[in-house]
Chains A and B, each alone.
Chain A
Amino acid sequence: MESLLPVIWAGIIGVAVAMYVILDGFDLGIAILFPFARSDGERDRMMGSIAPFWDGNETWLVLGGAGLLVAFPRAYAVIMPALYLPIIVMLLALVFRGVAFEFRGISLSKTLWDRAFAGGSLLAALCQGAILAGLIQGIKVENGAFAGGAFDWATPFAVLCALGVAAGYALLGALWLVIKTDGELAERSRGQAKILLLVVLAFMAVVSLWTPLAFPRIAERWFSTPNIFFLWPVPIATAVLAAFAWYALEKGREVSPFLAAVGLFVLGYLGLAISTYPYLVPPSLTVFQAAAAPASQGFMLIGTLVLLPLVIGYFVVVHWLFRGKVREGEGYH
């Protein structure tokens, strides 16, 4: 059991980060699409479609951070200083966008906080992409501590990932608007979603080719036998889902394109997990080396098994209460 704990925890944190990416992904994405809205009324509806959920969505980020500290303190202690600048900038960007939800409704001029909301969200998404790239690229570690420079993460690959994540979030955002709004706004979102779907697929293809070419350990993971016999369905499933998402958008469906895009995210995420496992901090710290004491992982696991289903329970309740399309003037300001 003790040797399983690090694997279970890697799974829990993996799920928390995936939940964060999908949930905050759509609400960051809606903010990224803010500049394309035609009127204040449209922006009100866009914000209204996520206002009751964003607090809860962002909490998954706290769980990701706290979970890493709980389960893998050594990895936490390496990753945070190594990716210092993108993490700090991301947090500050999230401050701006988070308060914009409240401040926008009280301010006499909405423009200022519209910009803070859109700019903060875009910057946060770009930073998250850079953080992802920083992890894939690997971190220089000596004696269990970060030993690199402040800008080690800043590479062309990081730029690629940053743009890819921002495009992916925008895609989720557009598809969320297809579900939660109607009329002109929903139609325009549907058009944006089609373009973004193609852009995101292009980014996914480039990342999938770049990583095995640039990182031999990733090439070996995917293309050596017998791995390749088990792993070939991942790219095939991605292609099938993408085709389905396009078809569903064309057919005027509302919910299924969003779910298909979530599926694409999950597959992309799974691909990255396959590329890096068992490393938490490639190429030096595995989940086993970075693990907290079994007593700590075990104590927290008990609580997590009880509380996580509850958290998912409220998640369902709040989405059920606020189901349906967002109407104009429905905020509380």
Chain B
Amino acid sequence: MSLDPVLLARLQFAFTISFHIIFPAFTIGLSAYIAVLLALWVYTGRELFNRLARYWTKIFAVSFAMGVVSGIVLSYQIGTNWSHFSVVVGNVLGPLLGYEVLAAFFLEATFLGILLFGWGRVPPWLSALSAIIVATGTAISAFWILSANSWMQTPTGYEMRDGVAYPLDWAAIIFNPSFPYRFAHMVTAAYLTTAFVVLAVGARYLLAGRHLTESRVMMHMAIGLIAILAPLQLFIGDQHGLNTLKHQPVKIAAMEAHWDGSKPGDFELFAWPDEKAETNRFAISIPRGSSLILTHDPNGLFPGLTSVPPQERPPIVPVFFAFRIMVGIGLLMIAAGWLGLLLWLTGRLFEARWYLWLVARGWWIGFVAVICGWIVTETGRQPWIAFGILRTADAISPLSAASVAVSLVLFVIVYGIVFGYGIYYINRLIVRGPEGAAIEPPTRWMPGRALSAVEETGREILSGRPKRT
């Protein structure tokens, strides 16, 4: 079997973008959390909020750096591996990505510098303002990127001339039909992802009996957010699904593994979709469940996979399973949020060690749900890269399979190293805790190195922190 450059390029893009999305999924929420903490600090004057904000800002900085560097890669990969894509849809998508860089990327990068290095140099309100600007920047970033992605799913406001898309109506392009749903769904997902990380860290400290005051605040804030957002996310997801049914019915059919559109759809709790036989094996299903969800009528009909020829269908298995994992995690999140709320209201939250034990180990569930959600929407769009405009196989650059294979291997190695260390270091920051890892105010510089060395040692003894050299 000879290597297929299209397959290799797809693998490479799937790899680099999955790696990248982990960080925005976390930093969109975390920047908002830090902004809230700093605003509370300025408003109440309680040092606790400042300590928590500084602690999370360190973790944010590491995640953001990994998000930036993996994001730069993406802005070039569209050209290196998918050059025909940029020719065909560049007129439409280019400005959306351009606005992201100008409106958001610069905003985040600059004010993050002030947030990270400004402690002690700038007044508290400016730190808080910088955090709010960074959080706004990440949200604006998400706005433009999701607008661009949504246009690839549900393109509107353009016309085709000589095989190239030309813009007709920018408002229709930016606010294309799936965009509001996808934006709401992703930003909520990012907040939930962060909330579960904060919850897990708080629970971890409580189990270890460390940083009790900080942990309680973290857990309360996280549970409050999850109890509201997790059920809201179920509703947004449902609306998003109905929107997809309207515009990309084949994707919905793949998510549900619904083959025959002339009958109402069952909801498959488990099944193995057999693409050759066009049926589901080992199915355990809720009869007419899908029809009820999608049409709000047990006898309602929606298009099945057999309504289009096999080459027009996306790969069923990954879409089907990724959707089930995502929904499963979503339900788990609701359970975790409401259970936590119940324990909190009955005053047993910090004594319920089983609950703390469970959520301390559940920090990753948001990330898995986000990646699964993207697999559903991106794989479900196949065989199109821009729905109805350009097929993925036609979007590839004129490259040899060898070039793409070499770069794929390089990406896997480099990202493996960087990601491995990143997780390791974030864990180290968490182990160190809010006191040890807090960002310290800049040392006042003393003339002569001996003096500053003494001061340094003194501070270490006082803070009980081992010297790191």
Any B CB within 8 A of the CB of A263: no
- Rounded to whole angstroms, the CA-CA distance of A68 and B76 in the bound complex is 10
Contact of B110 among A88, A101, A314 (CB under 8 A): A314
**Contact stretch, chosen from B88-96, B200-208, B256-264, B375-383:** B88-96
Any B CB within 8 A of the CB of A79: yes
- Rounded to whole angstroms, the CA-CA distance of A101 and B78 in the bound complex is 27
Contact of B79 among A69, A293, A303 (CB under 8 A): A69
Any A CB within 8 A of the CB of B87: yes
**Complex interface residues of chain A between 105 and 136 (CB less than 8 A to chain B):** 106-108, 110
**Contact stretch, chosen from B65-73, B244-252, B350-358, B365-373:** B65-73
**Contact stretch, chosen from A143-151, A247-255, A266-274:** A143-151
A300 CB contacts on chain B under 8 angstroms: 94-95, 98-99
Q: Are A328 and B111 in contact (CB under 8 A)?
A: no
Any B CB within 8 A of the CB of A102: yes
B110 CB contacts on chain A under 8 angstroms: 55-56, 311, 314-315, 317-318
- Rounded to whole angstroms, the CA-CA distance of A95 and B103 in the bound complex is 23
Q: Are A55 and B68 in contact (CB under 8 A)?
A: yes
B399 CB contacts on chain A under 8 angstroms: 81, 84, 150
0 or 1 for each of A145-187: is its CB under 8 Å from B? (1 = yes): 1110010000000000000000000000000000000000000
Any B CB within 8 A of the CB of A218: no
**Complex interface residues of chain B between 382 and 404 (CB less than 8 A to chain A):** 397-400, 402-403
- Rounded to whole angstroms, the CA-CA distance of A69 and B108 in the bound complex is 22
B469 CB contacts on chain A under 8 angstroms: 40, 110
Q: Are A296 and B79 in contact (CB under 8 A)?
A: no
Instruction: Output the least CB separation between A9 and chain B (Å).
Output: 11
Name A72's closest neighbour in chain B (CB-CB). B90
- Rounded to whole angstroms, the CA-CA distance of A292 and B399 in the bound complex is 23
Contact of A69 among B64, B68, B86 (CB under 8 A): B86
Instruction: Output the least CB separation between B149 and chain A (Å).
Output: 15
B449 CB contacts on chain A under 8 angstroms: 41, 328
**Contact stretch, chosen from B44-52, B299-307, B323-331, B417-425:** B417-425
Instruction: Output the least CB separation between B113 and chain A (Å).
Output: 4
Q: Are A66 and B94 in contact (CB under 8 A)?
A: yes
Chain A CB within 10 Å, residue with most, of B81, B102, B103: B102
Chain A interface residue count: which class? Answer: 35 or more
B86 CB contacts on chain A under 8 angstroms: 69, 73, 76-77, 80
Q: Are B87 and A332 in contact (CB under 8 A)?
A: no
Name A108's closest neighbour in chain B (CB-CB). B468
A219 CB contacts on chain B under 8 angstroms: none
Contact of B411 among A59, A79, A92 (CB under 8 A): A92
- Rounded to whole angstroms, the CA-CA distance of A244 and B114 in the bound complex is 35
Instruction: Output the least CB separation between B435 and chain A (Å).
Output: 15
Name A90's closest neighbour in chain B (CB-CB). B76
Name B93's closest neighbour in chain A (CB-CB). A69
A322 CB contacts on chain B under 8 angstroms: 113, 117, 121
Any A CB within 8 A of the CB of B407: yes
- Rounded to whole angstroms, the CA-CA distance of A265 and B309 in the bound complex is 58
Any A CB within 8 A of the CB of B62: yes
Q: Are A85 and B403 in contact (CB under 8 A)?
A: yes
0 or 1 for each of B105-124: is its CB under 8 Å from A? (1 = yes): 11111111110111101100
Any A CB within 8 A of the CB of B428: yes
Any A CB within 8 A of the CB of B220: no
Q: Are B397 and A146 in contact (CB under 8 A)?
A: yes
Instruction: Output the least CB separation between A241 and chain B (Å).
Output: 29
A201 CB contacts on chain B under 8 angstroms: none
Any B CB within 8 A of the CB of A230: no
- Rounded to whole angstroms, the CA-CA distance of A61 and B445 in the bound complex is 35
A70 CB contacts on chain B under 8 angstroms: 90, 94-95, 97-98
**Complex interface residues of chain A between 24 and 58 (CB less than 8 A to chain B):** 40-41, 51-53, 55-56, 58
Q: Are A303 and B61 in contact (CB under 8 A)?
A: no
Q: Are B422 and A314 in contact (CB under 8 A)?
A: no
- Rounded to whole angstroms, the CA-CA distance of A48 and B90 in the bound complex is 39
Any A CB within 8 A of the CB of B464: no
Name A100's closest neighbour in chain B (CB-CB). B65
Chain A CB within 10 Å, residue with most, of B94, B118, B400, B415: B94
Any A CB within 8 A of the CB of B443: yes
Any A CB within 8 A of the CB of B75: yes
Name A51's closest neighbour in chain B (CB-CB). B117
**Complex interface residues of chain A between 204 and 246 (CB less than 8 A to chain B):** none
- Rounded to whole angstroms, the CA-CA distance of A101 and B428 in the bound complex is 16
Any A CB within 8 A of the CB of B13: no
Q: Are A98 and B69 in contact (CB under 8 A)?
A: yes
- Rounded to whole angstroms, the CA-CA distance of A85 and B170 in the bound complex is 35
Q: Are B62 and A73 in contact (CB under 8 A)?
A: no
- Rounded to whole angstroms, the CA-CA distance of A211 and B159 in the bound complex is 43
- Rounded to whole angstroms, the CA-CA distance of A101 and B108 in the bound complex is 17
Q: Are B116 and A52 in contact (CB under 8 A)?
A: yes
- Rounded to whole angstroms, the CA-CA distance of A300 and B98 in the bound complex is 7
Any B CB within 8 A of the CB of A258: no
A332 CB contacts on chain B under 8 angstroms: 58, 61, 116-117, 119, 439-440
Any A CB within 8 A of the CB of B83: yes
Any A CB within 8 A of the CB of B101: yes
Chain A CB within 10 Å, residue with most, of B79, B91, B442: B79
Any B CB within 8 A of the CB of A91: yes
Any A CB within 8 A of the CB of B278: no
Name B469's closest neighbour in chain A (CB-CB). A40
A102 and B80 in contact (CB under 8 A), knowing A69-B97, A322-B117? no
Q: Are B398 and A76 in contact (CB under 8 A)?
A: no
- Rounded to whole angstroms, the CA-CA distance of A146 and B407 in the bound complex is 18
Any B CB within 8 A of the CB of A2: no
- Rounded to whole angstroms, the CA-CA distance of A65 and B422 in the bound complex is 26
A80 and B62 in contact (CB under 8 A), knowing A62-B71, A98-B69? no
Name A146's closest neighbour in chain B (CB-CB). B398
Q: Are B65 and A102 in contact (CB under 8 A)?
A: yes
**Complex interface residues of chain A between 259 and 296 (CB less than 8 A to chain B):** 292-293, 295-296
B73 CB contacts on chain A under 8 angstroms: 91-92, 95
- Rounded to whole angstroms, the CA-CA distance of A330 and B440 in the bound complex is 9
Q: Are B102 and A303 in contact (CB under 8 A)?
A: yes
Name A149's closest neighbour in chain B (CB-CB). B400
24 intermolecular pairs with C-beta atoms under 8 Å apart:
A55-B113, A69-B79, A73-B86, A78-B83, A84-B80, A84-B403, A88-B410, A95-B418, A96-B418, A146-B397, A292-B91, A295-B167, A296-B91, A296-B95, A303-B99, A314-B110, A327-B443, A329-B442, A329-B456, A330-B442, A332-B61, A332-B117, A332-B119, A332-B440
The 5 residue pairs across chains A and B that have the minimum distance between CB atoms: A73-B90, A80-B79, A55-B109, A70-B94, A327-B445
